[in-house]
């Protein structure tokens, strides 16, 4: 969860105290929103937290693909593999 008293900082402040911010990022595992002229411009987080975010996103993609496949099965949008492979061989001039 974002803590606006600690996790939203100006880019100037981040530049001045980058070492402190890096320690905070590693300890808290929370991202810091950097602002320029009061507007959010960038988000900084430690590498381990970012990797965790990438892993979660990858799993979400897999779960969505599975969900779509199950939905295709439920709505009859599938064909037997034998039929698909036979058509593939025919289209590409491959023998069995």
Percent of the chain with pLDDT over 90: 89
Q: Can you tell me the distance from the alpha carbon of 41 to that of 72, in angstroms, rounded to the nearest whole number?
A: 41
For the chain, which residues make up each domain, given as ranges?
8-45, 49-91
24 and 48 Cβ atoms separated by less than 8 Å = no
pLDDT value, residue 23:
94
What does the alpha-carbon distance between residue 23 and residue 3 come to, in Å, rounded to a whole number? 16
Tens of pLDDT, residues 63-95: 999 999 999 999 999 999 999 999 999 999 998
Q: What is the pLDDT of residue 37?
A: 96
User: Using one digit for the tens of pLDDT, what is the confidence trace for 24-52?
Assistant: 999 998 999 999 999 999 999 999 989 99
């Amino acid at each position: 969860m974002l803590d606006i008293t600690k996790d939203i900082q100006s880019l100037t402040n981040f530049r001045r105290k980058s070492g402190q911010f890096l320690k905070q990022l590693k300890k808290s595992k929370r991202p810091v929103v950097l602002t320029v002229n009061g507007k959010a411009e960038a988000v900084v987080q430690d590498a381990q937290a970012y990797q965790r975010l990438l892993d979660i996103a990858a799993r979400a993609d897999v779960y969505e693909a599975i969900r779509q496949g199950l939905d295709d099965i439920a709505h009859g949008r599938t064909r037997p593999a034998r039929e698909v492979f036979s058509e593939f061989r025919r289209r590409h001039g491959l023998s069995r």
